[in-house]
């Protein structure tokens, strides 16, 4: 028996979007699906292609851009007609898991507004941007093994930090924070010793997903000099369950803000990869921030070019994130350390004055991008709730 999926014209998940995820219906194994409206299409059943019976997107991503486009065309043809009924599931009836097997994880620091805000907080008597910031996309290597799918509870981490009396203690973080970010998933890797040219970005990156880089600011502040983030970041990073293919964001591409000084040649490309994407941060159900990705200083193409400039290899499933997305206005800040200005200016959340995360708090980050015909396309959500520290 076949069926036709009807979706509202103004849905964020229409035929121009078609994000991929890995899902399981009741009594079935995990497999690859594509979201259309509030339904999930089982691609193994609909396309009769065994690569989509795998419990991750990696095998499909490794097939390369031509295969990605061919499948996208086949899906759009399929949904214009009728789909086998057994291949269609309601979104709220399925379980999702991490959609990719992640090899390596790198996090950047690409927002000039975020970097400037933190510079002013941490170095109030100095220039907010360090000398290298405008010359290269600053980043650090994270921990791939603690990337978790949206909806996973986050346990408050332990670590060393300094008290107000300048005593070093070990215990649960008291300044637990979020970072609203965009993540980029590598589909085709690169060989050791061979950099990826900046204009080869779309040949290597499969898609985009929302990221929450949970951050323990007190642990981070004590440990990050001289080598950078470690335990203050590595305890958890949340990734949305749905990966928006790069092809769906073609109409969202915009020019980058002006970069001064002009980047070195390996960071100059002929293609523009600024993105018109608007994020929203929801704290216990209240929207507290609207970070605009359009203001990001460094593009994802520049990040990938720099990541591999020294010959570092990449693999299918590698994830790199943009760093906190923040804007120039107070209500566009993508972390709570910025929103509360280091805790000095509490945020009112549901009538309560708040600075950092408390046990039981839930944070949801959503986003949409400019689509065609004045419509928006959705990037889903990344959700997480804080649990108390374990002894």
Catalytic residue positions, numbered:
114
Determine the Cα–Cα distance for residues 377 and 368; give it in Å rounded to an integer: 5
Asked if 232 and 219 count as a contact pair (C-beta separation under 8 A), the reply is yes
Determine the Cα–Cα distance for residues 230 and 140; give it in Å rounded to an integer: 9
C-alpha closest to that of 139 among 317, 306, 325, 268 = 306
Determine the Cα–Cα distance for residues 286 and 361; give it in Å rounded to an integer: 11
DSSP state of 16: T
- Tokens 């399929």 found at: 78
Determine the Cα–Cα distance for residues 17 and 295; give it in Å rounded to an integer: 23
Per the DSSP assignment, residues forming a β-bridge with 368 are: 278, 378
Token pair of 144, please?
A: 């791939």
C-alpha closest to that of 31 among 43, 18, 19 = 43
Per the DSSP assignment, residues forming a β-bridge with 385 are: 362
The total of other beta-carbon atoms located within 10 Å of residue 297's CB is 22
- Phi-psi category of residue 351: left, alpha or beta, with phi > 0 → left and psi -120 to 50 → alpha: left
Residues in the chain: 391
Determine the Cα–Cα distance for residues 326 and 89; give it in Å rounded to an integer: 36
């Amino acid at each position: 028996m076949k069926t036709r999926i009807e979706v509202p014209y103004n849905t964020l998940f229409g035929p121009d979007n078609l994000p991929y995820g890995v899902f399981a219906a009741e009594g079935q194994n995990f497999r690859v699906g594509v979201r259309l409206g509030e339904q999930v299409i089982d691609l193994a059943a609909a396309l009769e292609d065994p690569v989509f019976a795998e419990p991750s997107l990696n095998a499909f991503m490794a097939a390369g851009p031509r295969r990605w486009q061919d499948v996208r065309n086949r899906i759009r043809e399929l949904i214009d007609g009728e789909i086998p009924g057994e291949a269609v599931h309601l979104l709220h009836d399925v379980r999702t898991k991490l959609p990719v097997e992640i090899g390596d994880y790198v996090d950047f620091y690409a927002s000039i507004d975020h970097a400037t805000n933190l510079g002013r907080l941490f170095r109030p008597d100095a220039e907010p941007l360090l000398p290298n910031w405008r010359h290269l996309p600053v980043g650090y290597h994270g921990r791939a093994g603690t990337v978790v799918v949206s909806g996973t509870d986050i346990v408050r981490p332990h670590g060393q930090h300094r008290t107000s009396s300048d005593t070093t203690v070990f215990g649960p973080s008291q300044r637990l924070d979020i970072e609203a970010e965009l993540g980029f998933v590598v589909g085709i890797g690169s060989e050791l010793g061979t950099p990826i040219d900046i204009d080869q970005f779309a040949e290597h990156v499969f898609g985009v997903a929302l990221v929450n880089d949970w951050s323990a600011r007190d642990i981070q502040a004590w440990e990050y000099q001289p080598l950078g983030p470690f335990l203050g970041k590595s305890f958890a990073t949340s990734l949305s369950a749905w990966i928006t293919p790069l092809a769906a964001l073609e109409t969202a591409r915009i020019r980058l803000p002006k970069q001064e000084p002009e980047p070195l040649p390996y960071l100059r490309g002929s293609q523009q990869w600024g993105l018109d994407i608007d994020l929203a941060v929801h704290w216990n159900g209240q929207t507290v921030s609207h970070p605009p990705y359009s203001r990001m200083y460094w593009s994802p193409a520049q990040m990938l070019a720099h990541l591999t400039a020294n010959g570092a290899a990449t693999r299918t499933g590698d994830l790199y994130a943009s760093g906190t997305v923040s804007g120039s206005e107070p209500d566009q800040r993508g972390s709570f350390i910025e929103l509360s200005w280091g805790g000095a200016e509490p945020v009112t959340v549901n009538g309560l004055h708040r600075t950092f995360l408390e046990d039981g708090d839930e944070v949801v980050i959503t986003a949409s991008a400019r689509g065609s015909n004045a419509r928006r396309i959705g990037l889903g959500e990344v959700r997480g709730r804080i649990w108390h520290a374990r002894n």
